Amino acid sequence: MSVKRLFVLLFVLAVLSLLLVLGLSSSNKRPEQEEKIDLSKYLTGIEAKESPMLAALVEQGKLPPLEERLPDEPIVVKPYERPGIYGGTWHMIHDGPDLAFLKITLGYAPLLRWKADSSGVEPGLAKSYEYSDGGRTLTLHLRKGLKWSDGHPYTSADFKFWYELCEDERYKLQPPGWSYVNGKPMKVEAPDPYTIVMRFAGPNYFAHLQLATGFWNPEEYSIPKHYMIQFHPDYNKRYKDFVTFERKNITHLNPDRPTMWSWKLKSIEASGTRVIFERNPYCPMVDTYGRQLPYIDRVQSTLVLDSQLKVLRMLAGEVDCQWRMIELTDLGLFMRGQKRGGYHIKLWNEGSGAKSAVAINWDQRDPVLRKIVRDKRFRQALAYAVPRDKINKVIFRGMARPQNSVISPQSWHFKHPEGKELYEKWRNLYSEYDLKKANLLLDEMGLKRNKSGIRLRPDGKPLQLIFTVVAATSAVPFENDEALMISEEWRKLGIKVLINTPPGPEISNRIRLAKYDVTMLGQSEMDLFTYPEWVFPTGITYWHPLTGKWYQTAGKEGWAPEGPAKDLIDIYEKIKSEPDLDKCHRLIWEAVRIHMEEGPFCLGTVGDTPSAVIIKNNFHNVPDTGVTGPWAVAQPAASYPEQFFIDPGGAK
């Protein structure tokens, strides 16, 4: 970004901000503008057991005492740096109305939680769990005294209510994919308020990981029965369908809906462009001194769609702590602006296995091209013609690592020294640029060139690939740039390559229907037990849409797996019924070896990129590292943002 353009955009930002302030009605007050209660007499430091704003409500008789709001056994969180100060508003930005970036930061209240280092799960709303009956039964024990944000008890009846909705053909939900074993969904029991029992049709030893995965699984199964039954047609004859029920159940759009999140939606303001969350007085977390969390009272986030405006707001110091919205191409600009903006930057790991992966359709509908694609020599030839060093230097400023298509290097599957060694071999395989080797492989396959230099298929037709990729104007323009560079090299091999840039939803639909030749997808994953699709052909996406459909429908639809795809599915089935975690990790290694010997199934470009976090100098307890790319392990939420705090008089 040029200096001239930067000043112009700063001016525009200032004007827009002024207009926004002038245009706000009295009903759209900022939290700081609302009528204030004098909280100066209440403690905020380590002597205080709760936020002054809650202490005042207790004194006024509007809220029960702290001991009545906490569960018998609270979730104890150790502060990263030191115990925090109560109060303050955390300012953020988001770029979509679904608030996905906020939810993966603030909206994580699962029964079981991913650990901050992604090495497994730890207790959440459930204090413990165990498997029995050979992995066919999973029992969870809830903490006694848990309460929704309105003070109503949180019990096993809430989870059972969710699953009854999944079984109700009138409602949009269905039993989740992880609940099926041998084509049959689980059964859920709630024998008492503190016990949840899930019974499966066969061993399902990784169901507990699904309960911790992402914000989306906990968000789906955490439904406040006591509140939602007033909109349920079986409980209220006023309603004939679930239209109102569904609308009222959207946590980030209904301030009246109780939640288990640590911050609860308070208001949606400024024509929907600003959301304000306020601390949940019944948050079940405390620090190591028994002080209720979160430390921060409010979170305010503003919708910003324009990419340059995002940069300007962050440069101006308008965010207190921000993840996932900082492009590597802008990192130098942010580094130079630290002193002026009053912030500092921590480099987390993005955990990218490929940025982006080149997915080749294993389930190609054209039988001649399918036979070519399923010949590993063809995929290896394409891999050797990917200009990874050039992509890294031109697009990613040299900050990525040229490599094969793999999952996240921080994955818990490769913590063992033997696993680490295997992973390094995997990521380096097929990653060198070697057009001579690529041409030899294609020659060996018998794909001869015509007079124009174009290779011919066995049926005499020109060998052509349609490269389906997002447009350069999309949210991820680097994929288009990568595709152009890669296509240029493939043409040198005698392959006719056409670039196609349909809208994003159409690309997704084509992938699911296996109506594509080659496409690009961001690749990262920390846990293949709960999200196996990158390595195992179990889903209707990526390189195996029709094989995955066969797996998901128990053979009723799609194509039966063949060759290495069948071997991979057989391994995944072993994993699902294996109780020994170490053996499960080793089965993952076995699958990786198939990828090394019979692959690649996706082609790598570059990966292992850093992910910048912007932090104001008075914002504390943010860990020095984490992994943000694979959302399934719920970072930064798994690092307990509840223990972040703002020191109004203290810098870094």
Residues of the chain with CATH 3.40.190.10: 3-107+261-350+611-646
Q: What whole-number percentage of the chain has pLDDT above 90? A: 85
- Check residues 476 and 75 and name the one with the higher pLDDT: 75
User: Which pLDDT score is estimated for 6?
Assistant: 45
User: Which pLDDT score is estimated for 10?
Assistant: 44
Question: Which tokens in the block code for residue 531?
Answer: 């999200």
**pLDDT of 216 over the 70 cut:** yes
State the Cα–Cα distance between residues 124 and 140, nearest whole angstrom. 11
- Show contacts of 263-268: CB within 8 Å, 24+ apart: 263/106, 263/294, 263/298, 263/299, 264/149, 266/31, 266/298
State the Cα–Cα distance between residues 247 and 622, nearest whole angstrom. 35
Q: How many CA atoms lie within 13 A of 348 on its CB side?
A: 26
3 state SS for 511-578: HHCCCCCEEEEEECCCCCCCCCCCCCCCCCCCCCHHHHHHHHCCCCCCCCCCCHHHHHHHHHHHHHCC
Sheet holding 89-94, edge to edge: 89-94, 298-303, 274-279, 263-269
What average pLDDT does the structure give for the chain?
Answer: 92
- Rounded average pLDDT over 187-202: 98
Candidates 251, 248, 250, 270; CA nearest to 260 is 251
Question: Which tokens in the block code for residue 14?
Answer: 């200032």
**pLDDT of 563 over the 70 cut:** yes
- Rounded average pLDDT over 448-457: 97
User: Which pLDDT score is estimated for 385?
Assistant: 98
**pLDDT of 488 over the 80 cut:** yes
User: Which pLDDT score is estimated for 17?
Assistant: 44
Question: Which tokens in the block code for residue 250?
Answer: 């959207």
Q: Are 38 and 52 in contact (CB under 8 A)?
A: no
Question: Which tokens in the block code for residue 54?
Answer: 């809650």
Extract the runs of DSSP E, i.e. beta strands, from 241-391: 263-269, 274-279, 285-287, 298-303, 321-322, 343-349, 354-360
State the Cα–Cα distance between residues 298 and 89, nearest whole angstrom. 5
User: Which pLDDT score is estimated for 651?
Assistant: 60
Backbone phi and psi for residue 279, each to the nearest 5 degrees, phi listed first: -50, 140
User: Which pLDDT score is estimated for 457?
Assistant: 98
- Rounded average pLDDT over 189-216: 96
Candidates 492, 472, 494, 493; CA nearest to 483 is 472
**pLDDT of 30 over the 80 cut:** no
User: Which pLDDT score is estimated for 35?
Assistant: 52
User: Which pLDDT score is estimated for 197?
Assistant: 98
Residues of the chain with CATH 3.10.105.10: 354-607
Q: Which residues pair with 301 in a beta bridge?
A: 92, 275
Q: Which residues pair with 627 in a beta bridge?
A: 349
Interacting residues of 358 by C-beta distance below 8 A, sequence separation 6+: 382, 386, 405, 486, 518, 519, 520, 602, 603, 604, 605
Distance of CA 259 to the CA centre of its chain: 20
Q: What whole-number percentage of the chain has pLDDT above 70? A: 94
Question: Which tokens in the block code for residue 600?
Answer: 């690649």
Q: At what angle do helices 581-598 and 564-576 cross, to 10 degrees?
A: 170
114-166: per-residue pLDDT in tens?
Answer: 999 999 999 999 999 999 999 999 999 999 999 999 999 999 999 999 999 99
Q: Which CATH superfamily is domain 3-107+261-350+611-646 in?
A: Periplasmic binding protein-like II (3.40.190.10)
**pLDDT of 598 over the 90 cut:** yes
Angle at 404 between CA 401 and CA 408, to 5 degrees: 70
User: Which pLDDT score is estimated for 4?
Assistant: 43
Question: Which tokens in the block code for residue 387?
Answer: 């200009």
User: Which pLDDT score is estimated for 229?
Assistant: 98
Candidates 596, 607, 161, 533; CA nearest to 350 is 607
Highest mean pLDDT among 181-185, 192-196, 550-554: 192-196
Counting Cβ atoms within 10 Å, is residue 375 exposed (0-12), middle (13-18) or buried (19+)? middle
Q: How confident is the model at residue 36 (pLDDT cuts 50, 70, 90)?
A: low
341-379: per-residue pLDDT in tens?
Answer: 999 999 999 999 998 899 999 999 999 999 999 999 999
Q: Which of 108-112, 254-258, 303-307, 619-623 has the lowest mean pLDDT?
A: 303-307
Q: Which of 470-474, 541-545, 583-587 has the lowest mean pLDDT?
A: 470-474
Interacting residues of 521 by C-beta distance below 8 A, sequence separation 6+: 356, 357, 359, 542, 602
CATH code of the domain occupying 112-244: 3.90.76.10
Extract the runs of DSSP E, i.e. beta strands, from 373-413: 401-402
Q: At what angle do helices 477-492 and 388-395 cross, to 10 degrees?
A: 150
- Rounded average pLDDT over 2-26: 41
**pLDDT of 476 over the 90 cut:** no
Q: What is the chain's length?
A: 652
For the entire predicted model, the pTM comes to 0.89
- Check residues 565 and 37 and name the one with the higher pLDDT: 565
CATH code of the domain occupying 354-607: 3.10.105.10
